[in-house]
Amino acid sequence: MGRKKLTLRVQIKRYTLTLICLATFLPHGQSQNLLANGSFEDENTCTEYQVNCSPEAWISSGNGFSNYFKDPHLAFDGSHCMTIEAGKTRNKYQRTFIRSQLLCSLVKGNQYKFECYVKSPHPILDSIGIYFTSYDFLFDKNPLQKITPSLYFNHNEDYNVSSPDTNWKKITLYYRATGSEKFITIANFSKRDINSETGLVMENHFYVFVDKVSLTTTDPKEKICAGWQATKAIIYEQNERHQYLDRYVRFYRTQNKMPPPPALTANKMTRIDTLVLPDVLFATGKFDLQKNSYQVLEKFFQTINTKNLDSLVIEGHTDSLGNWENNRVLSEQRARAVAAYITSQSAFSNQVIITRGWGPLKPVAGNNTAAGRQKNRRVEILAYLRE
């Protein structure tokens, strides 16, 4: 069954609010891959340069321009593959990793099968591994050689690491879940350094190519969560890949903090209702809600069945004018102000509410015009409904 879109327009003074109901269903025969875009075929268009320089759902800690390949002669499957840097000539412990968010939470105690294809011009695949975390590893300050991954590739008895690395090899590993997993990272976790000569002309990086990555349950009774498409859509919305992402990571690292983890559950969430609040519903340059915003919020919640309401995600956004950190704080404060009003209403006091402040990182229009900046200054409410 395809997607259904129902649009309800509510006119309030001189601006328009749009309510979008998106129904998503699990296609018949859908593979239960808990990782989005495992073959890297879906291309992300970055916020900064509007260039498709990286895959959707996967982020490299290195330069996306040099770690994402669009060449069917290099890829195992399709036209795209990624690389991780396992070492570099004369550069001590220089490495990169790729990471992605899971589509659903894993069931504690259940077994999962991880599969991918790898190859390298160098005999270095023995210490490549995968690392499951409850937090986004992009914000971890620990070097890779200090990390003990969840699984090493060479722990698989079916994989002969002494064979030449130049051909694609299928990796199959099994993992017992703790129930806290939200992100997966692939990297070289070796305790020893790789910084000798590569033996290749004009090449000083020790690369490992990765393609066709999947994570599936081994229990036939376990089905992929109904909310996987909604989660995938949120993951695909993250378009920061260069200086914006670096700035975001650097902010949390300097504060010795982690951003709030994503809310992943096995609940059956098949519809998302979205309300966009323009900044005219807030005091100018502040996070105080105007009184006419209360009526807008009440009308929105009248259109949804609160008995089936699983959770709310409230995200604040600004334009790019002014100080970046001030914009981020303002966007977060506005999201929290909306959350505070919602929780003050008895009908929603027990709902799970997640707030995020993105500042100027997720524009919906250009910031070079007043009209575009007006559209970017907004708060979005995403209501996840069980059916």
The pLDDT tens digits for 237-267 are 999 888 888 888 988 888 888 888 887 765 3
Q: Are the C-beta atoms of 152 and 50 separated by less than 8 Å?
A: no
The pLDDT value given to residue 372: 92
Question: To which H or E segment does residue 119 belong?
Answer: strand 111-119
The pLDDT value given to residue 305: 65
Tell whether pTM > 0.75: no
d(CA 128, CA 213): 14
Tokens for 86, please give them: 């396992």
Lowest mean per-residue pLDDT among 3-7, 68-72, 118-122, 321-325: 3-7
- For residue 15, pLDDT beyond 90: no
164 pLDDT band (50/70/90 cuts)? low
26 pLDDT band (50/70/90 cuts)? very low
Mean pLDDT of 277-287: 82
d(CA 106, CA 88): 35
Mean pLDDT of 50-75: 89
Question: To which H or E segment does residue 298 belong?
Answer: helix 292-302
- For residue 199, pLDDT beyond 90: no
Q: How many residues does the chain have?
A: 387
The tally of CA atoms less than 13 A away on the side-chain side of residue 1 is 8
The pLDDT value given to residue 269: 39
- Mean residue pLDDT across the chain: 82
In this predicted model, which residue has the larger pLDDT, 212 or 341?
A: 212
Q: Are the C-beta atoms of 269 and 230 separated by less than 8 Å?
A: yes
In this predicted model, which residue has the larger pLDDT, 178 or 310?
A: 178
The pLDDT value given to residue 303: 79
Percentage, residues of the chain above pLDDT 70: 84
Mean pLDDT of 305-311: 71
Mean pLDDT of 181-200: 90
162 pLDDT band (50/70/90 cuts)? very low
